[in-house]
Structure formats: structure tokens, C-alpha cells
Amino acid sequence: MTTAHSEERAARALLTRVVEPGDETGGRWIRHFGAVTVSERLADTDRPLPGVTRARWDGLCNRAAHARTLDDLGTARALGIRLVCPGDSEWPAQLDDLGDTRPVALWVRGLPSLRMWALKSVALVGARACTEYGAHMAAALASGLTERGWVVISGGAYGVDGAAHRGALSADGATVAVLASGVDQAYPRGHTELISRIAGQGLVVSELAPGDHPTPSRFILRNRVIAALTRGTVVVEAAHRSGALATARSATRLGRMTMGVPGPATSALSAGVHQLLRGEAALVTDAAEIIELVGDIGELAPEHRGPVVPRDLLAPATARALAALPPAGTATTEDLARAAASTPDEVTGRLYELRSLGFVEREGGGWRLTGRGRGAGRVGVGEVAEVAEGEGE
Amino acid sequence: MTTAHSEERAARALLTRVVEPGDETGGRWIRHFGAVTVSERLADTDRPLPGVTRARWDGLCNRAAHARTLDDLGTARALGIRLVCPGDSEWPAQLDDLGDTRPVALWVRGLPSLRMWALKSVALVGARACTEYGAHMAAALASGLTERGWVVISGGAYGVDGAAHRGALSADGATVAVLASGVDQAYPRGHTELISRIAGQGLVVSELAPGDHPTPSRFILRNRVIAALTRGTVVVEAAHRSGALATARSATRLGRMTMGVPGPATSALSAGVHQLLRGEAALVTDAAEIIELVGDIGELAPEHRGPVVPRDLLAPATARALAALPPAGTATTEDLARAAASTPDEVTGRLYELRSLGFVEREGGGWRLTGRGRGAGRVGVGEVAEVAEGEGE
């Protein structure tokens, strides 16, 4: 089980309450001094760390003094929320591309492994006040992507985000909401039920600590996490100056694919997308075109090929789901939940992890082993379980 | 007056009846031997020109034997149709980019100078069975382009073509239909009235002789003339494998701008456009964006700058329209028609020529002199008229 040691975890939990998302100075401190030292120094008002004004330092120390990290970790655990830190086996390595604006840690609600899910994920983002066409496209792309084994990541907002999450859920698919508030906060309020469905069937993620509220800058900075987690960002509908365009620009800066869905030239809600399409974004009209662009060269990103699979990566529940699959033919989620002594939601999460690893594929409404999956199966469930990682703390 | 001499004209008139549009072998013969020699050789069945089978040569000779060129030229003149040949001052030099597939000559109906109009022209093309959205966009782009002094060229067909021509006409604007039949043939029949309106207010053009009918290959090959005449081609709506895509590909090959109007990702009639937009085509949503792309570096293409303006280019009727403009402020087409002792249609044609030369501009519903126009006006109408070109034969 690879997790950061508890002092480091407590420090990072504290820092998620103190350092604002995307704060480069905070990121630099953590890189130079380590999270533990930074959190200790925040208790010492008189010795400011370099690069901030006195007033700002006082503000940070004040925040730190009011944070109750052990309470946070305890409360979070009680709510089914875990802290995922850099170095944990669940940490999505691609977030490191953010450099000093990398999240200090991520608070995560939901059963599946964020790292596994993010391996083959696409961001669908767009206008809150989208048109019926935008909502239709978001849902259709999301269900098309999840039906092909891809994970849909979005921001949980009204409009395009919501339609994307719902499209994924309705296809029994994998979806992740990255919030600009604590993962226990349903924002917007009208999405309370949607967000708890996502937490049940997928993942709800935030770099903000439980209980924290969104601010305009947190919305904007949340977008870099969506862009960094995914292989590419698709903007479905966006007016000029839409926040979705910020996500797209982040994606381009990070070397991810940026894509746009065209719409009527007469629609103000497609004007921002058309602007992107005149620049670096690629035009996409269906899920297959997206997948062609985000690439699927083999089933795993190169750094995960070879001996790390499956020994280093399969959690016990994932190994049980793999073992439940019939050697030939397909099985439904319900069959597999029964066979693995689990629930359909839990099993769905595991199946998408296995899909990311190239062990299983969807066929019709069911799931089947791939050639690689049959190979991995030969390892034996016991053996896999023996060396598997734990989740969270 | 710069026109090809009458033997050459008669030969080319004959060859428009004999050589199919875009026939490279025919084009090569004309380049090597000259139009007169080629037309003479076509009377000598036993001495085939190189590069064709005997059967094909016999077919060409048979066609030539049945063509009555002098009748053609006489009938055409009576119908108000003129023949424009390479070397004529009305010949649009950009057609020479077609190399050996350059039209042998063009039959033209309408008052304005084709060469002048084509200088600042854009092709709007697309599906015959277009949607309401496609028709709306074609009309809006056409009226926007003509309001800014650009000439709209299309193929006179149902759907996008018709909407483009009508949009231009409704804005009192300049439009050219390039037909795949003789210019006296209304094809499609349902566009009889539209095509005669275009001939009255603009130009109807074809490389086929009067009386000739369209064939599938003539439709396709007509598209290269539309692409070559214009600074850029905009595809408004097109399904996969639409003929409009052939026009766009011609434009790209010829180094012209290729543009596409996005539409809903769900529309099969935008799928062809989206395919273009994934390649070399630029995305456009309004007339201003088109004009930005087809360029307007000064008012004239470089090769026409300097002393050739106005002396070499102004026809008497054009010079009279220029002289009719007030030194300051705007005048309506009706005012100008009265002042130039002409008709509104005739004056509109001349004004768009002057617009191409940068002498006048539209403002509101009227026309005004530009700085260059005021300079040109100082030359004096008599002096301009003295050196001006004639039209047609």
C-alpha cells in the first residue's frame, strides 16, 4: 500500500484549507521546504516564508490557526471522503504537469480509483445557460464516450456539465465531477441529487477541503484540474468569454487535445467554440472522433506498460471484479456484482478501472474479458489481492 | 480596345462547342498550336492531333462539323450574349491559374465587366437540398458581402446557390451565376426568373456555348471556374460527397481561401463542411470574417496597382457613373442613374466595378467617392472615355 505517511497527509490536509487553488507561491514553498515544514511555519507568524507581503502572510497564518486538520480528516472519513496526496498510488500523475500550481492534494468521494479512471478520460465542458442543442450534444457525447470505455470528467455545473454527467450516468458509465467547493457541498444547490448520484456511481473530486465554498476565482482555477486530469477537453457550447474557454486554453497549454463541437453560426452560444476552432481546437461531432484524437495507442499510457500491471495497481475489489468475469462471453453488471459479492455501483467503478487497464471491454449492455484480461486472470485472484494497494487512508 | 482578333474569336467560339469543359488535351492543343490551327485541324478528320484515340478524334471532328460558329456569334449577339476570350480586357486573368484546363472562352450575359467584378469576389456554394438554416446563412452572407462591396459568385442551382444569389440581389448587390449550360438556358427550370434577374442586375457566365445543356460532368467541372474566378470559396452547407466539396477542393488547389460555415453536429447537411473544417478550410460565421480572410490589402490586387488605373480599365459607361458621383456625400442608385443618363441596373453594375477599383464605397443605402475616387475623378471624364476599353466583340 503506497500512501504518503500520516504527518505529510495531515500537513497537506491543512494546506488545502490555507493555500488557494493554483497559488504558485504556495506550490513553490511546498516544493522547496516540503508540506510538513510549510504547515509548521504557518504556525509561526513572525517568520514569513519568502515571496509574500506581510499582510498576506498574516492572512495565511490566520487561516492555518483556524483549520482543524485532525477534525477534517476524521469528519471526511466519516463522510466517505478520502484525501489523495502526491505519492499515493491513487494520485493521478498527469496532475504533476501543473508544476507549482499542482493541487496540494485532492479530496475524493466515491469508490473507484481516481488514478485509474483519469487514465482514459475526456473533459466535456461548456456553457451553464446552454441551448437544447448543447445539452443534447453533451449527453450524446458523454454516453458515446462511456459506452466505449472512456471516463467523462466535468465540473458539475448547470447546462453542459450537468448534461454530460447525466449522459454518462444514463449509459451506466463512468463520470467524475471536479468541484470548485468541498466535495460535501452540492454546488449548485439544484444539482444536490446529481452530485450525490455521481458520488455513488463515480467520483466527486476537489482540491478544496470539505465545507469550503466556491468563489469566482475558484471556479476558474478548478478548470486547470479538469484540463490536467484528462487526455483532452471538448467544449460543447460556449459564448465569447465563457469559463469553458479557460479550460480549453489550460488544456492547450498542458499539451492536451483541445476540441470543439460546432454549432449554428447564428448561435451566440457557439461563438466561443467557433473562436477556438479557428485556433488550435479540433472540430468534433461525435464520440468516435473524440476518441480518435485523444488517442488509444494500446490500452495504457506508455508509462504504465509492462510489469506494473497488474501487480502494482489492482485493488482487492478490482481483482475480485476481474475474477468474476466469465472466461468467454459477456456478463451484465448485475451478474458481476452477484459473483463478486458486491453492489452494481461498486462493480461498475471497478470495471471502468479494468477497462482503463485494457483488461475488459464493453459489449452490448455487458462486459467481457480482453486478451490481456484473460492473461491477467491467470495471475490468480489471491496472488493479486496479496500485493494490491489500499484505497485512501 | 483590347479584344482578340476576329479569326481567333471565331475559333474559340467553335471550340466552346467542341472541347468539353476542363479537357486538358484540348487545352494543351490550344496552347501548342493556337485556337485557330486547332479549329482548322478539326475539319481534317484524317490528321488527328496527338494524345487522343481515333474514335475520340472522330467524335470531336463530328462535333466541329455540326457547329455553326458564325450563327452562334450572331445569335448570341442578338440575345445580348458576348464572348470573352483570353487576351480580352474583360478576361479575368485569374482563370489562367487553371493551366490547360482554363476555359477556351466564356459566354457572358449582363452589363458589368466580368474582369472587374471578379477582382473582389467570393464564391458561396453548397447543397441543393439545403436546410432553412443553410438558406438563411447563404442569404445573410451574400447580402453582407455585397453591402461591403464584394461580388457573390455561385452556380445558380437550387438551395444554397439560389439563396446566395437572392441575398445579393435583395441587397441591391452584385452577383454572378456560373452555369453548367449555355447562358441562354435556365437551369434548373425553376430558376428561370432568378437567372434572368441575375442577367439583368449582374452577370450570367458559362464556358458552354448558348443552347448547350448540362451533364453531370459539366456540373463538376463548372465548379473549377467558380473557384478560380474568386478570391475564396465558402461552403455553406454540404453533405459528405457533395459537389460543393469539389469546388472547395479546387479552391484549395488553386491557392484560394477555402472556408466553411459550421452547423449543428447533428445535421447531415453540415457533415461535409465539418470534414472540410478539419482540413484546410477556415471557419467563418459572417461576412466580415470572410472579408478578413480573402484579404483586402488596399483596394486592388497588386498586379492592378499603379498607372493601369484608371486609364487602361474604365469603360465609357463606368467613367460616366464615376463622373455622376457628387464630390462629397452619398447618392442613391436612382440619382446616379439619372445623372449618368442610364438605368439603375446598368449603374449598379458600373458602381461595383468602381468599388472593385477602390473608387467608390457604399454607405447606408447610397454610394460615395473614396479618396482614390476623387483623385480618379480629376482625370476628367472625357480623358478617361478616350482611352477606355470596349466591351465584348
Residues linked to residue B106 through DSSP beta bridges, in sequence order: B84
Q: At what angle do helices B192-201 and B344-356 cross, to 10 degrees?
A: 70
Query: Residue A334 has what pLDDT?
Result: 87
CA dihedral defined by B350, B356, B360, B362, rounded to 10 degrees?
A: 90
Which of left, alpha, beta for B152 (phi over 0: left; psi -120 to 50: alpha)? beta
C-alpha cell at A179: 468541484
Which residues of chain B make contact with A270, given a CB cutoff of 8 A?
262
Residues linked to residue B366 through DSSP beta bridges, in sequence order: B363
Please give the Cα distance from A342 to A222 (Å, whole number).
33
Please give the Cα distance from B221 to B21 (Å, whole number).
6
A359-363, B189-193, B225-229: least confidently modelled range: A359-363
CB atoms within 10 A of CB A211: 14
Q: Is the pLDDT of residue B387 over 60?
A: no
Query: Do A260 and A272 contact (CB within 8 A), yes or no?
Result: no
Which residues of chain A make contact with B274, given a CB cutoff of 8 A?
262, 283, 285
Which of left, alpha, beta for A176 (phi over 0: left; psi -120 to 50: alpha)? beta
For chains A and B, count residue pairs whose Cβ atoms are closer than 8 Å: 55
3-state secondary structure of B154: strand
Give the ipTM.
0.72
3-state secondary structure of B249: helix
> What pLDDT, in 10s, does the model give residues A63-94?
999 988 777 888 899 999 999 999 999 999 99
Please give the Cα distance from A358 to A97 (Å, whole number).
24
Query: Residue A390 has what pLDDT?
Result: 37
Q: How far is A352 from chain B (nearest CA, A)?
A: 28
Average pLDDT taken over every residue of chain B: 87
Q: What burial class does residue B43 get, using C-beta atoms within 10 Å of its C-beta: 0-12 exposed, 13-18 middle, 19+ buried?
A: exposed
Q: Is the pLDDT of residue B208 over 80?
A: yes
Residue contact B265–A265, C-beta within 8 A = no
Query: Residue B218 has what pLDDT?
Result: 94
Query: Residue A202 has what pLDDT?
Result: 96
The H or E element spanning position B172 is none
Q: How far is B262 from chain A (nearest CA, A)?
A: 6
What is the β-pairing status of strands A282-283 and A175-178?
unpaired
> What pLDDT, in 10s, does the model give residues B309-332?
444 557 778 878 888 888 888 898
Query: Residue A325 has what pLDDT?
Result: 86
**Ranges under pLDDT 50 in chain A:** 1, 298-311, 377-393
Residue contact B282–A282, C-beta within 8 A = no
Which residues of chain A make contact with B284, given a CB cutoff of 8 A?
265
Q: Is the pLDDT of residue B1 over 80?
A: no
Region B258-267: mean pLDDT is 97
Which residues of chain A make contact with B285, given a CB cutoff of 8 A?
265-266, 271, 274
Which residues of chain B make contact with A266, given a CB cutoff of 8 A?
133, 136-137, 285
User: What are the C-alpha distances in Å from A21 to residues A12, A233, A273?
Assistant: 13, 20, 26
> What pLDDT, in 10s, does the model give residues B42-87?
999 999 999 999 999 999 999 999 988 777 888 899 999 999 999 9
The H or E element spanning position B360 is strand B360-363
Percent of chain B with pLDDT over 70: 90
> What pLDDT, in 10s, does the model give residues A368-393?
888 777 765 443 333 333 333 333 33
Instruction: Choose among A137, A266, A282: nearest Cβ to B265.
Output: A137
Instruction: Choose among B278, B284, B286: nearest Cβ to A283.
Output: B278
Which residues of chain A make contact with B282, given a CB cutoff of 8 A?
278
Please give the Cα distance from B53 to A210 (Å, whole number).
84
Query: Residue B375 has what pLDDT?
Result: 65
Nearest CA in chain A to B266: A285
Which residues of chain A make contact with B278, given a CB cutoff of 8 A?
282-283
Q: Is the pLDDT of residue B252 over 80?
A: yes
Q: Is the pLDDT of residue B5 over 90?
A: no
A11-20, B168-177, B295-304, B311-320: least confidently modelled range: B295-304
Instruction: Choose among B137, B274, B286: nearest Cβ to A283.
Output: B274
Query: Do A356 and A305 contact (CB within 8 A), yes or no?
Result: no
Instruction: Choose among B262, B271, B278: nearest Cβ to A265.
Output: B262
Please give the Cα distance from B282 to B264 (Å, whole number).
17
User: Closest Cα partner for A357 from A383, A377, A328?
Assistant: A377
Query: Residue B366 has what pLDDT?
Result: 87
What is the β-pairing status of strands B106-109 and B121-125?
unpaired
Query: Do B101 and B222 contact (CB within 8 A), yes or no?
Result: no
Query: Residue B188 has what pLDDT?
Result: 92
C-alpha cell at B237: 452547407
Instruction: Choose among A263, A270, A277: nearest Cβ to B277.
Output: A277
Residue contact B277–A286, C-beta within 8 A = no
Q: How far is A280 from chain B (nearest CA, A)?
A: 11
